[in-house]
Structure 1
Amino acid sequence: MIVEINLLPKRKERSLTSLIVILVILAIIIISSIIFFFHYNSLKTELQTTQETIQVTEQLRGIQEQKLQETPEASTIDVIESQINWIQKQKMSSADLLSRFVEKLPERGYFMNYTFVDEGTVQISIQFDTPAEVSAYLFELTDSTFIEEANLLSITAEEMEEVEDSEEEILPRYLADFTVKLNVAELLKEEGDE
């Protein structure tokens, strides 16, 4: 009988699972690298586009600032001159205009505020006893020849303070805000006739 002696170490068989795990890890690394590469390139392109947009915006801002530095005096002067010319042409009496508004008020109507808003527009606040008086006054304004347009902006009821000894019921007062567009030519004509 012959005895076989193998002095070489026995070779271990490699498991197939370790090879599969290594291949999966390697595939994940490759796919992640590809995704990272494309994401990096898209961010780089987006950054470059944003920088170009910022540069163009800064150039436009510089141009606009230069234009503003060159022309503000001219445009401001033109606006002021046009307003001065309008005022000089419109030599109408505010007191006469106010008296025309007062003539149309009901017996217990009171002016609270009177403001020139712009060329030919007046804003007035008036206190009335009833909403019907507000309506009647608005009709009187729209029926006037020196008024092109009259608009009621708001009506608010103001509660009056009660007197402790009084047994009478105190009714609220109504504050109405109007915007009135004047017919300046007609107003000046009527003032000229007087």
Structure 2
Amino acid sequence: MLVEINLLPKKEPRNLSLLFAIVTFSGMILIGAAFLIWQMNEKKEELANVENQVQLTNEILEAKRTKLADFQSASSVQELEKAIKWAEKQPYNLVYVLQKLTKILPERGFLTEFNLEKDSIINLIIQFDTKSEAAYYLNSLLNYKWIDEAVITKEKAGDWEIINNKTPLSDDQLTDLAKKNFFPRYYAEYEIRLNIAELKQAYKSEMEKSKEGNKGEEEGGDSP
């Protein structure tokens, strides 16, 4: 009778629990990685959508700006056309009047506002360095034959005029300071009443003199 005797040690069974845990953990890692990749793709898609929306919004805004610029340009042209038509309907040449009103301003006198209330009444606001300049300008206005009446309706002292009232500095000294610092010193508002007939005659006479002067220059230029 044969008897088998196995002297080798018995193999221990595999740890199925450990294997299952490893497999489970690996699966979770794979699932997590897949989820992260999916989330990243989603974020990229969302970012692309946002960028597209921003670009579209910018295009819409630019289109609106272009339309607004075109509208403003058209409005400016319309306003200019209205102003030209209005000026053409006036009974006298406004450009000529403005040239004459500004010609007698002092060196640092500036016309800041011009209003035509009626055909024969003009309101001006002018900036001066001194109060005496405002009075001198009024006297110069009255030298025009086509101005029936001119008065100062309102006066406003600027910074340098207030200083002048508190310091012994003369007008000439303060004028020099104003030139260096460019401070407005004095504002005067004028009301001017025009004589339309005299104004038309003055304009006509000046235009005739100008034509004669140009004609004389042309004849002088042609002579040997």
Q: TM-score, normalised by structure 2?
A: 0.42
Relative to total residues, which structure has the larger helix share, 1 or 2?
2
Larger radius of gyration: 2
Q: TM-score, normalised by structure 1?
A: 0.47
